[in-house]
Structures are given as C-alpha cells and as structure tokens.
Amino acid sequence: MIYRAIGLMSGSSLDGLDIAFVEFTEQSGKWQYEIKASACVPYDDEWMEKLRTASQASAYTYLGLHSAYGHYLGRTVNQFIASKGLDYQVQLVSSHGHTIFHEPSTRMTAQLGDGAAIAAETGINVVSDLRALDVALGGQGAPIVPIGEKYLFSDYSYLLNIGGISNLTVLGENQSIAFDIAPANRVLNMIAGQIGKKYDEGGAMAAKGMINEPVLDELNALDYYKKPFPKSLNNEFGSDTIYPLLENLNTEDGLATYVEHIAQQLANAFQQFEQPVQPGKLLVTGGGAHNDFLMQAIQSKLAVFGIEVEKPSKEVIDYKEALIMAFIGVLRWRENNNALAEITGAGRNSIGGALWIGQEY
C-alpha cells in the first residue's frame, strides 16, 4: 500500500512550523518512506508572542486561539501544497499542534491547533490530538516519535532528537525505551536571545564560554533527573526552572554551561540503564544536530560507551519529527497502534488521534 501524507510539527523552540509531504510504502509489515517536499515556515512576531503566552490566557481566549491557530495551520498547508505543486496528491494531514500544557500526572495534555479548522481550510482528512489517548490511559504521551523510529529507522539502536526538548529512544529486540533527557534548544535560544540572537549558530558562542561549575551542579541536582523512566517534560521546565539558573551568567558562559549540562544528562541516562550499554550508532536529528559544539560534547561523553554519533541528511535532521507525525497519522487512518505502552507507561498500546473528515462525500 502507498500513502501520501503531510506531517506538521511545531516545537517548543518556536523556530517555525515544520511541514513534510511524505510517501509511505508498506509491504508485508515493512515500511519505507520518501520525503517528497518539505519546508519550515517561520512564525512572525505576532504568532510567536501568542504561542509563547498561550499558557497564561483565559479559557475563552485560549479556545479562540486554538481555533485561530488551526485555521492558520490549514491556510499554511494550502500555501505549501500550491507552492510545491501538490494539488490532489495529499491524502491526509497529520498535525501534532503546538504543546501548551503537558501534565501526564493529572492525565492532561493540550496541543494548540484545532483539527476541525485544518480540515475545514484544506478539504483534506486530518488527524490531530495525537497524544491525548495515551495520556488518558495513564501514559506520558511522550516521547511521541518512537513508533516511527521503530518502523522507519530500525537500523539504529539509539536515536536522539534535539529540539526544544531533547529525547532519547533505545530500540531493543524485546523491549524499547524512550524518554525526555533535558530541555535543549528552548533554553539555548533563550540564552542567545539575551544579545538579540535567535540561536547560537554552530555553537560558536558556546565554544568561547567557560563552564560555571556551581551553576552546572545546581542544574544536575534538579529532581527530574532523579526520576525513573518513562518520564517526560513540559515546556515550562525549561523556561521557568532551568533558565533562571542561567540568566545571570554572560551569554557565552551560559551557553557553554548548558551545553555541558545536556551532554552530561545524556551520558547519565545511559548509566541508568539496567542492562550494560551495547556499542552502536546514535542517530541525531533536530535543530541541535546543527550545533557543532553540542555534538562534540555529546560524542566526547558517549565515547566511553562505544557509541558513535551519526547525522543523517539535512532534510531528515530538520524534518524527522514532521515525517513521523505524518506516519502516526497514517497508522491512525489504518487503525493500527501508534502509541506504545512500553515507551510511555500507559495501560496498553493505543490508536491515538482525532480524525476529521475534510473531504466532501
């Protein structure tokens, strides 16, 4: 079977909306994919502010924003389809939305972006609310990408995505695990923003800084890092808990200290596994893969385990999450499990996502 779907992903780093149009081929349970077209649509200042402050909005304002953002997503998809010459080729749109609230301990998660509005704008069938059922079943609802990694990237034992939050997947023959490591680009970008930069290109500023050991010790002592997995983070942990510990450092030292923190926490995660870590390759994707200083720090920390860091093509680095959102939507359309209890800690596997029929029959 062949499926042609668009995946939408908006990460906590607020760098824009990632869009990937992907052709999936399934034969006897084996999946292959090809990214046919992709784009990152930057948010203008107005949308960045709305998304950044949505968690403080009243219920009435929030619901209005949920609808407005859904219509924005739909219009953006229409523009993408027109610009890439994809008319009548897209069978499905699968939208992650933009996470505003995520509290699995209270069985609550909320991603902005009304799927009904996307369907109304595009006239295409839409899958949205991808995390909700897993969280309702007692799971973390995160990380969400391991189902795609299992079927599309099974050549790797270890997969690290460094977006607004960094998360690790370990694929095993009998059992796989995945969990959030630490906030990443969301915090690094906030530090770079102190001097008017959107981000630290290539980690050049971090490379000039000095690690502040007392601050690093405070970061490493935070309670989250002592919790067993499965576990996941909300956006506020980075902005409200992590960043205040760093904001009094100069920009270069703050970046250097936080890069070291991310690398240390990744290494600490490998040390917490019940079974000895097997040598292998770690596939790194997400915007953080372009941060050469961070990548060097990670490789240095993981060398002791015999793990080699590897980066795929730029398109996969930048659009792997959007690719997997499209895949999750296809699984939902097929009524196949797209959330794994062994990953999230839910009561069972599930077929998550709300389905909106955009086509007129």
Residue 10 three-state SS: strand
Peptide bond into 146 cis (omega under 30): no
The count of structural domains within the chain is 2
Q: At what angle do helices 213-220 and 251-271 cross, to 10 degrees?
A: 40
What is the model's pLDDT at position 12? 74
Q: Is the dihedral of CA 236, 241, 246, 248 positive or negative?
A: positive
Are residue 156 and residue 109 in the same domain, yes or no? no
CATH number at residue 275: 3.30.420.40
Say which residue the tokens 């209270």 belong to: 106
Residue 136: give the domain boundaries.
2-141+319-356
The residues, any chain, with a CB within 8 Å of residue 338's CB and separated by 6 or more, are 130, 147, 328, 331, 332, 350, 351, 352, 353
Single pTM value for the model: 0.88
Are residue 31 and residue 120 in the same domain, yes or no? yes
Are residue 135 and residue 9 in the same domain, yes or no? yes
Identify whether 66 is part of a domain.
Answer: yes
Low-confidence ranges of the chain (pLDDT < 70): none
What is the model's pLDDT at position 320? 94
In 3D space, the residue among 59, 136, 130 whose CA is nearest the CA of residue 104 turns out to be 136
What is the model's pLDDT at position 187? 96
Q: Are 36 and 85 in contact (CB under 8 A)?
A: no
Are residue 77 and residue 200 in the same domain, yes or no? no
Are residue 121 and residue 239 in the same domain, yes or no? no
Say which residue the tokens 């084996």 belong to: 30
What is the model's pLDDT at position 176? 85
φ, ψ for residue 60 (rounded to 5)?
A: -65, -45
Q: Are 143 and 151 in contact (CB under 8 A)?
A: no
Identify whether 361 is part of a domain.
Answer: no
Nearest 5°: CA angle at 181, between 175 and 182?
Answer: 165
What is the model's pLDDT at position 259? 98
- Provide the pairing of β-strand 158-162 with 177-183: unpaired
Are residue 275 and residue 225 in the same domain, yes or no? yes
Are residue 181 and residue 264 in the same domain, yes or no? yes
Q: Is the dihedral of CA 349, 131, 121, 76 positive or negative?
A: negative
Distance CA 295, CA 301 (A): 10
Are residue 347 and residue 225 in the same domain, yes or no? no
What is the model's pLDDT at position 275? 75
DSSP bridge partners of 126: 93, 356
Distance CA 179, CA 266 (A): 11
